[in-house]
Structure 1
């Protein structure tokens, strides 16, 4: 392997190590506990090395968020595919794919609270709803849209309906995480939301 390629690979591995360490620390102690000093200690590199990879903590959190969007896309796609297979087998209704996406989203938010914060709550330099959207964000939105669009009524913009569905799920996830909703009624809320979208 050429020297330049080896250096580039080592740099990418260091960057991934920093992102993984930030994510682990955030999930264990919350984002307030994630500092460059703690990260440098954890990955056994100096703070200047961290800054040679990432401009600041916001850039590290954005890298964590991008990783999360890839994982969210996988979770939504797999949930919808399983529901579609069950619907083809006659075991479930057509709206089951929408329900599966909603449940997968809420499960993801509940299982990865710090990752979810990096993706949707913390201030970020990531661009949403513009032509400069990173690929992993576009793919996550597309997974939502594929589930929602079959239920768009004539004259209804499928993208706006998707945004409404996503923002409703985000509100549920955020309120649930803050213990602002009845913990035992998540399924009922999902049913109501799916019913409103699917008709």
Structure 2
């Protein structure tokens, strides 16, 4: 291994450490606790080293969001691949999405509520975000119904899931009705 390859590997490892540390700190204490000074202390590098990887907190949030999008896509695909039949896949997708949002509140917030400098629904949308949408579309496209564009249906279903995740996180919905809400969403929107 050349010196340059080793330096590139070390740089990538430092970057992963920064992102993982930011995520861990945000999950435990919220995004307000994530500062470049605190991150530099936690990873035991100087702030200039941190800034050599990211221009600031906004880019770190974006990196956490991209990792989260990849994880969410994997969770949705794993859940839907284990389900039998279109309705069961849609139901599994909804549960996997809502479970991901509940288990990873800071990541979910980085994805959808904070400004990580990421473009959504555009040509320059980063690949992990496109793949997360594709993971939803793979299942939801098959239940969009006649004459309904699969992408549009996926956006509407996703918006409903996001609303449920956001309102649940804000404790605006009765927890004991969570399962019934998923069933109602699937029954009313998914044409199977």
TM tier, shorter chain?
A: over 0.9
> Is residue 37 of structure 1 aligned with residue 37 of structure 2?
yes
Runs of 5+ unmatched residues, structure 1: 88-92
Q: Equivalent residue of 2:82, what SS?
A: helix
Contact (CA 8 Å) 2:66, 2:128: kept in 1 or not?
yes
Describe the superposition over 1:141-182 as per-residue Cα deviations: whole angstroms up to 9, x where unpaired.
Answer: 111111111112222111010000001000100000000010
> Is residue 149 of structure 1 aligned with residue 137 of structure 2?
no
Shift of 1:134: 1.2
> Is residue 139 of structure 1 aligned with residue 164 of structure 2?
no
Contact (CA 8 Å) 2:80, 2:93: kept in 1 or not?
yes
Describe the superposition over 1:92-123 as per-residue Cα deviations: whole angstroms up to 9, x where unpaired.
Answer: x5301000000000000000101110111111
Contact (CA 8 Å) 1:148, 1:197: kept in 2 or not?
no
Runs of 5+ unmatched residues, structure 2: none
Q: Equivalent residue of 2:86, what SS?
A: coil
TM-score for the superposition, normalised by structure 1: 0.94
| Cα distance in 2 for residues equivalent to 1:120 and 1:68 | 11
Counterparts of 1:73-88 in structure 2, within 5 Å, are 73-83=73-83, 87=84
| Cα distance in 1 for residues equivalent to 2:51 and 2:23 | 17
User: Where do 4+ consecutive residues of structure 1 move more than 2 Å?
Assistant: none
Q: CA RMSD in A?
A: 0.9
Shift of 1:29: 0.3
